[in-house]
């Protein structure tokens, strides 16, 4: 028994040193040397400032301005609304407002919950209000599910191609672009399935919107 | 549903089998003390470790000595981890706490430590708002390795007991844990971590990144040494996420390829162990029979989950959404699922991590449809023998095999024999107890938590007042009793008003009951499994005769599946009816 105790104490300290200090340092070192971009989160810069991470979604929203010219506030936080000139990301349930990448959270909305239905209906209303003026044929049944269901991480960087195609009508009108120009951009920032079969294709919203801004219209 | 979705599932099963078979043979050689291709590189560090920890690795241990080493070592690990987590700010001098997080409260820490020791990795905390990088590395990552190793060594010891022909020895605990770490976990982890970084999993010690978004807002992005923990989290079927949303977070699981790769990491050792068992018993077909049985149950579970999730939820339909696949969208119940994984990649991941004790998630189980959510329930109810956790899966299913042989023996009216050893009252009693511990712990804790207001305090606001609230509670204690760690994540044991743990407090009832649930359901079955090994080790082997019931043919596979379903799943059937099955049978919204 005493032998076991002595051995256990030395062993747990040795394993902590090897597996808890040396191993993570080695992996970090290799990562920083071999794949520095990936290891540091694939930052994207614009005008010398970090504008986001390529694989973390963000909210393309702007503060609502009230009639008195000041930003509208609710419980001390500015009220935000979608900026129609950008492709919109999926709904997000992160705690500190949408796309809070310092506190990822599930919505945890159940399949048989009235609250889930209400949340879906609200987002359907918003999505129709945003897109139907530019796509008159759009109905509830045509909305792709990813556009109104929250993602798991709340940080999903992608939207489905169907979602992008619907929003393309709005972007084309507001930015005076031809639909072929937009379609080419969407195709450019659509990633294929892993290994050709694993997962679903998705459109990277941040990269797409940055490309729109680069065109400058 | 799409053809590619089904193809993903089929390809996964094939690739898994192709990788697990050679790995199983390799593991058998390692544990039988034969030379392997890594021996020239690893024998020096191996003997160095034995010298430092002062053990004679050649000394053979009977089951009691083996169990004593295991328990004392686990206790030392528990105490050190509790110390590290409760003194989080003490380690700020290392620079590995850039966000200056305080320690979580004592009750949450009790739960977390018990969780990581028992390979459960149930998390009442959220990684990116609670844990410093130092706690993640030197604390949690270490137990990701060691709890996996302990599971494997118990399985190996049990197999030695089954096949042993000389005396009562089960091997040497220290040798087994060191070899598991060096020869099996380490090579795969190092290569796997680098593969993950090459595909976009992050690994750094930077403070959280502040981004100025396209529309002029500010976004803070959590960072950390993720890849090194991610790989062992999957490989050791641990499942505790670096971030709160676990493998759904793009920094843990960036694309379809990493999703596939991580799924393989989770299942490869549990699958390999079954082939190792075949090799060590000297009869390949013993392993293939068990592999066939669990693979059948596994594929059945995947099919049900995939079909249910692709169908969509009552809430979606009530809101008027069309949930079928259309051009440019896979459709389905996308609430709580990521676009890049889609329905198939989410359902498959969900089944893989709930048949094993992994419990990592890449989608929100709480948002699964009634039937889709009943699948992880059923997987857990089978006490994780469908592949199961690293080691735990094999020793648990071997207890079921023993029971199946016994029942089969009763049916043909002969003394049951298993691989030439007579099964007698002592082994059957021990195996029966070992199997019943998990259901006992799960149901007892669920009843306590449902019946008391202190227990109901953990139910999330959105789920209260419907079957979902019961599902949350039941799943919490079932998951902890099975050392799984996946969650209907609305169920909580920590109230955290702000990041960094300022002003946070735990819900003691949930934290303590859950912690005890995990420890009891981890170590009691381990002791029973080792005791069975000890009882079998000393038995004489008699030659196979005409009347011996074979344990390597399809008849036995059917018998084994029957025993698992009847004993495992039916124990939980009444409880399952009250939660997920009610939800699956109704379109009613609560």
Check: CB of residue B380 under 8 Å from CB of residue A123. Answer: no
Neighbours of B489 (CB within 10 A): 26
CA B298 – CA B32 distance, rounded (Å):
30
Check: CB of residue A60 under 8 Å from CB of residue A88. Answer: yes
Mean pLDDT of the region A126-137 = 97
Mean pLDDT of the region B203-226 = 97
CA B504 – CA B185 distance, rounded (Å):
36
Does A43 sit within 8 Å of B204, measured CB to CB? no
More confidently predicted of A8 and A96: A8
Does B210 sit within 8 Å of A149, measured CB to CB? no
Q: In chain B, which residue's Cα lies nearest the Cα of A109?
A: B367
Buried/exposed A128-157: b ≥16 CB within 10 Å, e otherwise: bebbeebbeebebeebbbbbbbbbbbbbbb
pLDDT at B388: 92
**CB proximity under 8 Å: A 174-203 to B:** 191, 193-195, 197-200, 202
Whether residues A15 and A95 share a domain: the answer is no
Backbone angles phi, psi at B211, to 5 degrees: -110, 145
Neighbours of B283 (CB within 10 A): 16
Whether residues A109 and A64 share a domain: the answer is yes
Closest CA to B302 of B371, B375, B370, B364: B375
Whether residues A105 and A141 share a domain: the answer is yes
> How many domains, chain B?
1
pLDDT at A78: 84
**CB proximity under 8 Å: A 47-86 to B:** 49-53, 55-62, 80, 83, 86
Closest CA to B314 of A127, A151, A110: A110
Check: CB of residue A158 under 8 Å from CB of residue A203. Answer: yes
The answer, yes or no, to whether residue B544 has pLDDT greater than 80, is: no
pLDDT at B548: 76
pLDDT at A171: 97
Whether residues A126 and A23 share a domain: the answer is no
At B494-512, the pLDDT tens digits run 998 877 888 889 999 999 9
Mean pLDDT of the region B485-493 = 90
Whether residues A132 and A167 share a domain: the answer is yes
Q: In chain B, which residue's Cα lies nearest the Cα of A207?
A: B214
Does A143 sit within 8 Å of B4, measured CB to CB? no
Backbone angles phi, psi at B254, to 5 degrees: -75, -25
Q: In chain B, which residue's Cα lies nearest the Cα of A166?
A: B328
Q: Using N-to-C axis directions, what is the helix angle for B508-537 and B425-451, rounded to 10°?
A: 170
How far does CA B177 lie from the centroid of its chain?
Answer: 18
Measure Cα distances from B14 to B17, B65, B433 in Å: 5, 40, 35
The answer, yes or no, to whether residue B587 has pLDDT greater than 70, is: yes
More confidently predicted of B155 and B585: B155
Is residue B590 in a domain? no
Does A120 sit within 8 Å of B316, measured CB to CB? yes
At A63-99, the pLDDT tens digits run 998 888 888 888 878 899 999 999 999 999 998 889 9
More confidently predicted of B587 and B127: B127
Is residue B214 in a domain? no
Residue B61 Cα, gap to closest chain A Cα (Å):
12
CA B229 – CA B252 distance, rounded (Å):
10
Does A107 sit within 8 Å of B364, measured CB to CB? yes
Contacts of B196 in chain A (CB under 8 A): none
Does B250 sit within 8 Å of A19, measured CB to CB? no
Is residue B213 in a domain? no
pLDDT at B461: 82
Domain interval for residue B29:
3-207+219-585
pLDDT at B590: 79
Residues 6+ apart with CB under 8 A from B460: A108, B469, B472, B490, B491, B492
CB pairs under 8 A between A and B: 420
Does A117 sit within 8 Å of B142, measured CB to CB? no
Read off the DSSP letter of residue A71. Answer: B
Whether residues A48 and A65 share a domain: the answer is yes
Residue A85 Cα, gap to closest chain B Cα (Å):
10
At A12-35, the pLDDT tens digits run 999 999 999 999 999 999 999 999
CA B123 – CA B484 distance, rounded (Å):
11
Whether residues A47 and A29 share a domain: the answer is no
pLDDT at B189: 98
Look at the block and give the residue holding tokens 């270490």.
Answer: B142
Whether residues A35 and A47 share a domain: the answer is no
Contacts of A105 in chain B (CB under 8 A): 126, 244-245
Domain interval for residue A77:
43-215
Stated pTM of the model: 0.96
Between A35, A104, A121, which is nearest B245 by CB?
A: A104
* Structural tokens at position B440: 């006992």
Mean pLDDT of chain B: 93
A124 near B CB under 8 A: yes
Q: Are strands B209-212 and A43-46 parallel, antiparallel or unpaired?
A: unpaired
Mean pLDDT of the region B285-291 = 92
Backbone angles phi, psi at A40, to 5 degrees: -100, 10
The answer, yes or no, to whether residue A51 has pLDDT greater than 80, is: yes
Whether residues A148 and A57 share a domain: the answer is yes
Burial class for B407, CB neighbours closer than 10 Å (0-12, 13-18, 19+):
middle
CA atoms in the 13 A half-sphere facing the CB of B133? 25
Look at the block and give the residue holding tokens 């902590």.
Answer: A16
A161 near B CB under 8 A: yes
Between B220, B341, B588, which is nearest A199 by CB?
A: B341
Is residue B421 in a domain? yes
A130 near B CB under 8 A: no
Whether residues A168 and A62 share a domain: the answer is yes
Between B321, B327, B331, which is nearest A148 by CB?
A: B321
pLDDT at B217: 94
Mean pLDDT of the region A175-199 = 96
Whether residues A47 and A109 share a domain: the answer is yes
pLDDT at B501: 85
Interface pTM, i.e. ipTM: 0.97
Q: In chain A, which residue's Cα lies nearest the Cα of B126?
A: A103
Q: Are strands A77-78 and A158-159 parallel, antiparallel or unpaired?
A: unpaired
Whether residues A90 and A121 share a domain: the answer is yes
pLDDT category at A217 given cuts 50, 70, 90 is low
Check: CB of residue B84 under 8 Å from CB of residue A23. Answer: no
> How many domains, chain A?
2
Residue B487 Cα, gap to closest chain A Cα (Å):
10
Contacts of A106 in chain B (CB under 8 A): 245, 248, 336, 364, 366-367, 489
pLDDT category at B584 given cuts 50, 70, 90 is confident
Check: CB of residue B529 under 8 Å from CB of residue B150. Answer: no
pLDDT at B580: 83
Mean pLDDT of the region A125-131 = 97
Instruction: Choose from B233, B257, B321, B461 for mutation: most chain A CBs within 10 A.
Output: B321
Is residue B212 in a domain? no
Buried/exposed B340-376: b ≥16 CB within 10 Å, e otherwise: bbbbbbbbbbbbbbbbbbbbbbbbbbbbbbbbbbbbb
């Amino acid at each position: 028994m005493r032998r076991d105790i002595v051995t256990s104490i030395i062993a747990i300290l040795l394993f902590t040193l090897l597996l808890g200090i040396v191993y993570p340092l080695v992996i970090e070192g290799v990562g920083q040397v071999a794949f520095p971009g990936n290891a540091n989160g694939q930052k994207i810069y614009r005008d010398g400032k970090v504008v986001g991470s390529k694989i973390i979604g963000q909210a393309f929203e702007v503060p609502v301005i009230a009639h008195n010219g000041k930003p509208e506030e609710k419980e001390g936080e500015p009220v935000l609304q979608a900026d129609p000139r950008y492709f919109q990301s999926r709904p997000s349930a992160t705690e500190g407002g949408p796309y809070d990448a310092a506190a990822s959270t599930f919505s945890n909305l159940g399949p048989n919950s009235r609250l889930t239905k209400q949340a879906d209906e609200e987002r359907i209303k918003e999505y129709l209000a945003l897109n139907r003026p530019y796509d008159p044929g759009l109905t509830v049944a045509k909305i792709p599910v990813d556009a109104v269901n929250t993602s798991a991480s709340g940080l999903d960087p992608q939207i489905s191609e169907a979602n992008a195609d619907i929003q393309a009508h709005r972007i084309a009108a507001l930015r005076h672009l031809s639909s072929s120009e937009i379609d080419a951009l969407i195709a450019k920032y659509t990633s294929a399935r892993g290994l050709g079969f694993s997962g679903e294709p998705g459109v990277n919203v941040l990269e797409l919107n940055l490309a729109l801004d680069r065109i400058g219209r | 549903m799409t053809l590619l979705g089904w193809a993903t599932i089929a390809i996964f099963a094939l690739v898994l089998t192709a990788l697990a078979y050679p790995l199983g043979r390799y593991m058998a050689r390692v544990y039988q003390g034969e030379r392997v291709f890594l021996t020239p590189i690893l024998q020096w560090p191996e003997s160095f470790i034995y010298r430092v920890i002062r053990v004679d690795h050649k000394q053979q241990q009977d089951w009691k000595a083996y169990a004593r080493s295991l328990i004392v070592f686990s206790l030392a690990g528990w105490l050190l981890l509790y110390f590290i987590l409760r003194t989080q700010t003490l380690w700020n001098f290392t620079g590995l706490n850039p966000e200056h997080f305080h320690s979580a409260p004592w009750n949450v820490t009790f739960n977390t430590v018990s969780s990581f020791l028992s390979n459960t990795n149930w998390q009442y905390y959220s990684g990116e708002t609670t844990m410093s990088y130092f706690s993640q590395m030197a604390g949690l990552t270490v137990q990701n390795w060691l709890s996996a190793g302990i599971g494997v060594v118990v399985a190996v010891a049990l197999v030695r007991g089954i096949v042993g022909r000389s005396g009562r020895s089960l091997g040497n605990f220290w040798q087994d844990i060191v070899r598991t770490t060096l020869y099996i976990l380490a090579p795969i982890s190092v290569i796997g971590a680098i593969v993950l970084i090459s595909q976009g999993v992050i690994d750094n010690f930077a403070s959280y990144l502040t981004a100025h978004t396209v529309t002029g807002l500010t976004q803070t992005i959590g960072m950390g040494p993720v890849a090194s923990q991610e790989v062992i989290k999957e490989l050791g079927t641990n499942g505790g996420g670096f971030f709160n949303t676990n493998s759904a977070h793009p920094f843990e699981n960036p694309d379809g390829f990493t999703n596939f790769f991580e799924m393989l990491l989770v299942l490869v050792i549990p699958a390999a162990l079954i082939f190792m068992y075949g090799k060590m018993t000297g009869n390949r077909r013993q392993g293939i029979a068990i592999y066939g049985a669990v693979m059948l149950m596994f594929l059945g579970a995947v099919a049900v989950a995939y079909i249910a999730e692709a169908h969509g939820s009552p809430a979606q339909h009530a809101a008027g959404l069309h949930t079928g696949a259309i051009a440019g969208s896979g459709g389905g119940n996308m609430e709580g699922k990521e676009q890049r994984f889609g329905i198939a990649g989410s359902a498959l991941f969900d089944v893989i991590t709930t048949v094993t004790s992994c419990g990592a998630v890449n989608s929100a189980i709480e948002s699964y449809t009634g039937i889709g959510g009943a699948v992880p329930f059923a997987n857990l109810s089978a006490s994780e023998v469908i592949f199961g956790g690293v080691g735990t899966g094999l020793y648990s299913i071997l207890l079921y095999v023993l029971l199946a042989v016994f029942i089969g023996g009763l049916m043909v009216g002969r003394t049951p024999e298993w691989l030439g050893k007579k099964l007698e009252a002592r082994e059957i009693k021990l195996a029966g107890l070992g199997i019943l511990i998990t259901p006992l712990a799960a149901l007892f804790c669920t009843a306590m938590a449902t019946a008391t207001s202190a227990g109901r305090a953990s139910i999330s606001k959105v789920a209260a007042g419907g079957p979902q609230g019961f599902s949350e509670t039941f799943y919490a204690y079932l998951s902890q009793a099975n050392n799984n760690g996946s969650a209907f994540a609305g169920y909580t044991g920590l109230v955290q008003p702000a990041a960094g743990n300022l002003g946070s407090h735990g819900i003691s009832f949930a934290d303590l009951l859950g912690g005890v649930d995990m420890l009891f359901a981890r170590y009691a079955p381990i002791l029973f499994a080792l005791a069975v090994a000890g009882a079998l080790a000393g038995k004489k082997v008699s030659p196979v005769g005409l009347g011996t019931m074979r344990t390597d043919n399809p008849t036995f596979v059917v018998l084994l599946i029957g025993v698992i379903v009847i004993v495992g799943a039916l124990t939980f059937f009444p409880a399952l009816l009250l939660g997920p099955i009610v939800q699956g049978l109704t379109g009613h919204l609560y």
